[in-house]
Amino acid sequence: MPNIVLGAGKLFFQPEDANGNLTDGEIYLAETPGITIPITTQRVEVFSSDTATEERIVDIPRRIERNFRFSTRDINGDSLPLFLIGASATVTQTATPVVGEAIGKLKKGTYLQLGTSLNPAGIRGCSSVAIKNGATPLVLNTDYTLDADLGRIYILPGTSVAEGTALTADFTPTANTREQVSTAGTAAKTGALRYIADNTAGANRDVYIPKVTLTPDGEWALKSRENPQELGFDARIGLRASLAAMYVDGRPV
């Protein structure tokens, strides 16, 4: 009977530490709708030059390159930092009142973000908001509107406050925590990959790759109503010490 395979399974990553040693434990990367292993071979070919039609007389494979490509559909705190080449951290926001934060100059029909003095991306959640022109408060829903959940204000086109006026904000952030991913000038992640098969049909074969270097491959489509977001990765397969490049294990019978 032929082994016709409809493949499915989960992908795990074990990162290296700063010294190039594998850290303890593998992380489940994410839902992976597609995984491929493209293998290319470079060869030296020599053709005869003594006959009317050239015939191949030497064919020597000189280089084999194995890669590992996959995409993730679960946009989480493990896959997104890998794609952006950055890090994930927990931002803790305290309910300490802020007084007189400079938020920019007034321009009608534009948005201003509160809390950039606390975090470059601003705050999430606030109360007791007062937007001021010097000591004079602007009027909510006359001069501006407030999105308290995102800490954003919108300058209404009908405000009587002159454009170019420097604005400040008093507010109290909501005490909360959130995940924040930020990019960093670090090298691409290196580690080991393990694929555990759970095929829809056909014999399961698990794949272990002792050393890969992960790099982003493709686009992060922030907005689409047709398809879910996916993150594409290219994993260049290398060698770790005396180990093979890849191990493919069948299941015990």
143 within some domain = yes
Task: Please name the helix (run of DSSP H) or strand (run of DSSP E) that holds residue 249, with its range, or none.
Answer: strand 247-250
What's the domain count of the chain? 2
Give tens-digit pLDDT for 43-101: 999 999 888 898 888 998 888 888 889 999 888 888 888 888 888 899 999 999 999 99
CATH number of domain containing 220 = 2.30.110
Q: Comparing C-alpha atoms, which of 223, 121, 94, 116 is closest to residue 182?
A: 121
In this prediction, residue 18 carries a pLDDT of: 86
130 within some domain = yes
Residue 127 sits in the same domain as residue 234: no
Q: Comparing C-alpha atoms, which of 225, 214, 21, 182 is closest to residue 90?
A: 182
pLDDT (average), residues 230-239: 91
Residue 134 sits in the same domain as residue 73: no
Q: Comparing C-alpha atoms, which of 152, 171, 168 is closest to residue 98?
A: 171
Range of the domain at 42: 9-88+182-250
56 within some domain = yes
pLDDT > 70 fraction of the chain, expressed in percent and rounded: 100
Its pTM surpasses 0.85 = no
Three-class secondary structure of residue 79 per DSSP: helix
Give tens-digit pLDDT for 96-133: 999 999 999 999 999 999 999 999 999 999 999 999 99
Please say if the pLDDT value at position 186 is more than 90. Answer: no
Residue 159 sits in the same domain as residue 203: no
128 within some domain = yes
Q: Which of 174, 197, 228 is the last residue of a domain?
A: 174
Phi, psi angle pair for 63, to nearest 5° = -155, 130
Q: Which of 156, 174, 192 is the last residue of a domain?
A: 174
Side-chain-side CA neighbours of 106 within 13 Å: the count stands at 23
